[in-house]
Amino acid sequence: MSQRYITVADLNDWLTRELQMQPECEGSKLTMKYRLREPDPANGCNWSEATVRIGFGCDAGHVGAVAARIVDRARLQFNVLCEKCQELADAPVQTPALAEHLRPQTPVGSGTGYGLREFRTLEPYDPFRCIGEHGSCNARWLRVGSGASGFEWHLHQQD
Ligand SMILES: [Zn+2]
């Protein structure tokens, strides 16, 4: 599965917009509920459930059924960023060379059991991956810039 990573705010906007486009759901709102620590083993989605607010005069049963279908679809399309990655998305220019919760996706050295045999320099295009201990989201990032004025982090979406 290859969900696209977005912020919680963007996901909530998307969910509510999709819901409000459906007939007889006007004024209703749909927002995600839980950011999962581990992705769903069935489909890799890292958030779960949603809260629906029924618009004035709308039928709760109808809106609920429509919302459930939208959530099913969204879980295959989107993953949400963890809190650390969310912070990085909000402030993508960082002075430290490395964001503490990101690691190079390709190891810079490889071990053979007798210590490191091979080393290579980290290239500017090497992707990093979020592997934070708690609730890491696995998002991939690219680091851009020389560092003179800080590095800029860009989300690197799976294709
Ligand atoms: Zn993350």
Q: Which of 17-31, 34-48, 90-104, 145-159 has the highest mean pLDDT?
A: 17-31
At 154, which helix (H) or strand (E)? strand 150-155
Q: How far is the CA of 101 from the centre of ligand 1 (A)?
A: 7
CA of 21 to the centre of ligand 1 (A): 31
Q: Looking at residue 149, what is its pLDDT?
A: 80
Q: By three-state DSSP, how is residue 17 classified?
A: helix
Q: How far is the CA of 70 from the centre of ligand 1 (A)?
A: 24
Q: How far apart are CA 37 and CA 53, in angstroms?
A: 25
Distance 138 CA to ligand 1 centre (A): 6
Distance 13 CA to ligand 1 centre (A): 20
Q: Taking the model in full, what pTM does it have?
A: 0.82
pLDDT of residue 141: 93
CA of residue 80 to ligand 1 center, whole Å: 9
**Res 71 pLDDT > 70:** yes
What average pLDDT does this structure show over 32-58?
Answer: 94
Tens digits of per-residue pLDDT, 110-154?
Answer: 555 555 555 566 676 788 999 866 678 989 999 888 777 888 999
How far does residue 129's CA lie from ligand 1's centre (Å)? 8
Cα of 12 from ligand 1 centre, angstroms: 18
CB 82 within 8 A of CB 137: yes
Closest C-alpha among 140, 122, 149, 159 to residue 82: 140
The first and second tokens of residue 58, run together, are 């709308």
